[in-house]
Amino acid sequence: MAFFSSSFNHWIVMLPLLLANSILVASAGNFYQDFDITWGDGRGKILNNGEVLTLSLDKASGSGFQSKNEYLFGLIDMELKLVPGNSAGTVTAYYLSSKGSTWDEIDFEFLGNLSGDPYILHTNVFSQGKGNREQQFYLWFDPTTDFHTYSVLWNPDNIIFSVDGTPIRKFKNLESIGVPFPKNQAMRIYSSLWNADDWATRGGLVKTDWTQAPFTASYRNFNANACIWSSGASSCGSTSPSSSSSANAWLTQELDSASQEKLTWVQKNYMIYNYCTDLKRFAQGLPLECSIASQS
């Protein structure tokens, strides 16, 4: 993702200790190798010798998969083609998550809609079991007619959501002012296709039309430049400036000025909800990070 530029900061001192005895893992996707279909009674399928995965939903059940590996930081890409036609009531979720009551999570969720209406791309960040950091967007293309790349850059300083290489959201590490940031818990990659017609489309007013089932979403070209968590250690090798390479530059990447302009363009023209402007919801005061201009 060439639109990022490297910057080194206080984490450079600490990161080699956290990621000691390690190797950088770059995984270019074969779904048999990288993922397990975990539920759906055959509604999830790996096709074309591992090059394509599909999830389906019908009235009886949805389906889902998860990564074989856990990761602690990564630059993760997946191409998705979403449910076409009348997808109202359906949700395609693609996310990273840890386990336990104080879990961390980084979410893409695609909320289906009536034919001709746009999908809503819902994003959220959880840290230590606390979320409520939603931003929602329309897309500038039809995500059902072709595959598009949805990416998460997760490093010790930032979480950056991107679509086809265009950043749409940045969540900055602001632990210095008391905002929790996901950096200590390894996460797996998950995806699921499921029925959520009690809330997903127009607040639940539009229900799933089961005559359109089965609903199917498709996945291909998974790629992870990431640190695999195994046996209590995360693995990325040295991250000192003298040894930085193109393979691990993402560990210290920030948005450069051109990428910041793209982010501003998306948020000005395609953002439809931002928790940091919801004064009704947060009547007692906006979350602390909302006061930081660079967080947007």
Pick the catalytic residue: 109, 175, 261, 289? Answer: 109
Pick the catalytic residue: 105, 134, 175, 261? Answer: 105
Are the C-beta atoms of residues 254 and 7 closer than 8 Å to each other? yes
Active site residue 105: yes
Pick from 150, 157, 170: nearest CA to 271: 170
Across the beta sheet with 120-126, what order do the strands follow? Answer: 35-39, 63-67, 188-195, 90-97, 105-111, 120-126, 135-137, 271-274
Name the DSSP class of 262. Answer: H
Instruction: Tell me the C-alpha distance between 271 and 121, whole Å.
Output: 9
Instruction: Tell me the C-alpha distance between 172 and 129, whole Å.
Output: 17
What's the Cα-to-Cα distance from 59 to each of 37, 62, 80, 202, rounded to whole Å? 19, 8, 22, 20
Pick from 9, 21, 45, 7: nearest CA to 233: 21
Assigned token pair, 260: 């910041």
Active site residue 134: no
Which residue numbers are catalytic?
A: 105, 109
